[in-house]
A and B are shown apart, each in its own frame.
Chain A
């Protein structure tokens, strides 16, 4: 157990639907990062939150949004889902710039 909890582990949904992925960071970590891992794109940075505020955006689609709550858990919302959104979505947390991330076990999203 890495200390970063992601739910659900697996999600199957239809095109056009909306889903919410949840992440609880490791205790004491204020930064949360979301990554998408697909077969052809590797690990792509989506968005970062730090202590409730959006800190950085990467290659995140407009159909995707995220937020971090006062208890520091984060949610990634994916809407108007397309087949190409099928991927493994990772959440990671960090204690600071000189540390690596601690990753959750990911959510496997399958859009059918």
Chain B
């Protein structure tokens, strides 16, 4: 079974600085998707960025980018120019692309990010 591990329960960053959140996963599959979700205090789950495993190019969405290392099964999220509104819980998630798979997301335990003014 696939697992997702976020080894940093909490992180802190100064406003305008850059922070990287770590995520590793375990799978025997070659085709899958990886996601980062943000959960602010409102508890709403917001998709931040997604990465297809077959793509070598790292995904980027404005100030958010990933470092996808398929061989190492690593999927870190970099937040540049951190803003107060980035303070939230961040979840890494895995989704199989295998035909017949359940298609559900498997989440890590999350990393709580604080942004200091």
Contacts and interface: CB of A to CB of B under 8 A. Distances in A.
A55 B93 CA distance: 20
B45 A98 contact: no
Contacts of A31: 103
Given A97-B95, A98-B52, A103 B44 contact: yes
Given A42-B109, A97-B97, A100-B35, A2 B44 contact: yes
Contact of B103 (A43, A56, A105): A56
Interface of A is mostly: strand
B56 interface: no
A86 to B, nearest CB: 14
Interface string A2-27: 10000000000000000000000000
A102 interface: yes
A43 B97 contact: no
Contact of B33 (A42, A58, A98, A102): A98
B105 interface: yes
Contacts of A88: 43
B47 A56 contact: no
A64 interface: no
A103 B97 contact: no
Contact of B107 (A42, A105, A106): A42
A54 to B, nearest CB: 11
B104 A58 contact: yes
Contacts of B107: 42-43
Interface in B28-60: 33, 35, 37, 42-47, 50, 52
A56 B104 contact: yes
B111 to A, nearest CB: 12
Interface of A: 2, 31, 33, 42-43, 45, 48, 55-56, 58, 88, 90, 92, 94, 97-103, 105-106, 108
16 contacts: A42-B110, A45-B102, A45-B104, A45-B106, A48-B102, A56-B102, A56-B103, A97-B95, A97-B103, A100-B37, A100-B105, A101-B105, A102-B47, A103-B45, A105-B44, A106-B44
